[in-house]
């Protein structure tokens, strides 16, 4: 049976010890909750894949307390360093080449020559990583193909029978997974959109142009069906169906005829909408609505990440 533990110093030390002993520990970050394992321990990594039902070709992100720690495992070029200095700790993941003596076990990286690395900003995550003293691989703490968790209860509900420990935090403040940037080449490319926006990144470095980006292979996991809620989601608000909920955005032109309305942000704030998206989808799923219709969200800034998640959720529900 899973236990949700308060983030006291004592509990953090205990859970760090459990992690070093090869157990899995779910912990909060500012993006979504992660399912942590000692990145140097092959059997712990294999448990992550089996608990999530995750294909072994989909590599994990390694988490650190600092750029200096990450540098022990991957090679930073000047551009990657500039990004790390600008946005870490924070909701950004960099894909970089392995160091010759990289500590991350190959089982966590699908045998790739690169590792995705991140330094989260969340206070509890940082204390936990510090206490762990090893790099921690952590995918989002959800069954593969389901919504990412933004509250401890989401993990207890969907993985509760399969893991023993959850470190308790508040609701995730960002609410969407980190922005992933491939920084192996001369010009970095965004592989996955998050709340750290293209505009913010371009204030620091020049990116490969959007056209090239869209033609490139995405992060391996992006090929898979993702973020599907267990009820159909439509990206149009025409013809409300019985039992269907409306996911609204903004204060204007809210369509009528829906049984239930949840507004991602009445003020049209894309960051507020990002923070609410997965939480609202979890709630609607719990309430057993028969479907979800979604109002359009502007495709700028954090809206790009939001729309990406919505498209995937809609595609996932076709079958």
Please tell me whether residue 189 binds ligand TXA under the rule CB under 6 A: no
Residue 31 contacts Mg ion per CB under 5 A: no
Q: Is 32 left (phi over 0), alpha (psi -120 to 50) or beta?
A: beta
Chosen residue from 112, 187, 208, 315 binding ligand TXA by CB under 6 A: 112
For residue 114, is it left (φ>0), alpha (ψ between -120 and 50) or beta?
Answer: beta
Angle between helices 302-316 and 270-287 in degrees, nearest 10: 20
First to last CA, the chain: 32
Q: Which residues in the 106-165 window bind Mg ion by CB under 5 A?
A: 140
Q: How many other β-carbons are positioned within 10 Å of the β-carbon of residue 22?
A: 14
* Contact pick of 16, 24, 31, 152 for ligand TXA (by CB under 6 A): 31
Q: Restricting to residues 119-148, which ones interact with ligand TXA according to CB under 6 A?
A: 138-140
Closer residue to Mg ion (CB): 140 or 168: 140
Question: Which lies closer to ligand TXA via its Cβ, residue 40 or residue 109?
Answer: 109
121 binds, among Mg ion, ligand TXA, none (CB under 5 to 8 A by kind): none
Burial code of 190-219, b = ≥16 C-beta within 10 A, e = fewer?
A: bbbbbbbbbebbeeebebeeeeebeeeeeb
Stretch that binds ligand TXA, among 68-76, 152-160, 174-182, 261-269 (CB under 6 A): 174-182
Q: Is the Cβ–Cβ distance between 71 and 117 less than 8 Å? A: no
Does the footprint of ligand TXA cover residue 61 (CB under 6 A)?
A: yes
- For the CB of residue 140, give the shortest distance to Mg ion in the complex, in Å: 3
For residue 197, state whether it binds ligand TXA (rule: CB under 6 A): no
Between 271 and 309, name the residue whose CB sits nearer to Mg ion. 309
Residue 118 touches which of Mg ion, ligand TXA, none (Cβ within 5-8 Å per kind): ligand TXA
Least distance between Mg ion and beta carbon 234 (Å) = 23
CB closer to Mg ion, 138 vs 245:
138
CA dihedral for 307, 311, 316, 318, sign (positive or negative): positive
**Shortest CB 39 distance to ligand TXA, Å:** 12
Is the Cα torsion angle 117, 120, 124, 126 positive or negative in sign?
Answer: positive
Q: Is 155 a binder of ligand TXA (CB under 6 A)?
A: no
Query: Which residues are CB-neighbours of 87 under 8 A, at least 6 positions away?
Result: 196, 200, 201, 204
Binding site for Mg ion (CB under 5 A): 140
Site residues, ligand TXA (CB under 6 A): 29, 31-32, 34, 58-61, 93, 95, 109, 112, 114-116, 118, 138-140, 177-178, 180, 191, 219-222
């Amino acid at each position: 049976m899973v236990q949700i533990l308060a983030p006291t110093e004592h509990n953090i030390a205990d859970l760090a010890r459990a992690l070093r002993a090869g157990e899995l520990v779910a912990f909060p970050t500012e993006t979504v909750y992660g399912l942590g394992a000692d990145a140097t321990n092959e059997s712990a990594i294999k448990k992550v894949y089996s608990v999530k039902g995750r294909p072994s070709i989909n590599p994990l992100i390694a988490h650190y307390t600092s750029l200096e720690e990450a540098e022990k495992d991957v090679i930073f070029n000047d551009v990657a360093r500039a990004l790390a200095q600008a946005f870490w700790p924070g909701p950004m993941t960099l894909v970089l080449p392995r160091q010759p003596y990289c500590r991350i076990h190959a089982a966590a990286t699908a045998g790739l020559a690169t590792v995705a690395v991140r330094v989260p900003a969340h206070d509890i995550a940082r204390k936990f990583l510090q206490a762990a003293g090893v790099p921690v691989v952590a995918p989002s703490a959800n069954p593969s193909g389901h919504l990412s968790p933004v509250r401890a209860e989401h993990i207890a509900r969907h993985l509760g029978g399969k893991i023993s420990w959850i470190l308790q935090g508040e609701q995730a403040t960002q609410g969407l997974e980190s922005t992933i940037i491939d920084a192996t080449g001369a010009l970095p490319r965004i592989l996955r959109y998050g709340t750290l926006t293209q505009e913010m990144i371009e204030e620091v470095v020049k990116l490969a142009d959007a056209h090239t980006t869209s033609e490139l292979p995405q992060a391996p996991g992006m090929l898979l069906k993702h973020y599907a809620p267990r009820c159909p989601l439509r990206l149009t608000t025409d013809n409300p169906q019985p039992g269907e909920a409306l996911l609204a955005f903004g204060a204007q032109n809210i369509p009528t005829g829906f049984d239930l309305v949840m507004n991602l942000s009445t003020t049209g704030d894309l960051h507020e909408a990002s923070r609410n998206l997965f939480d609202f989808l979890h709630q609607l799923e719990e309430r057993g609505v028969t479907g979800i219709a979604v109002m359009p969200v502007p495709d700028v800034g954090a809206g790009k990440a939001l729309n990406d998640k919505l498209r995937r959720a809609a595609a996932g529900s076709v079958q």
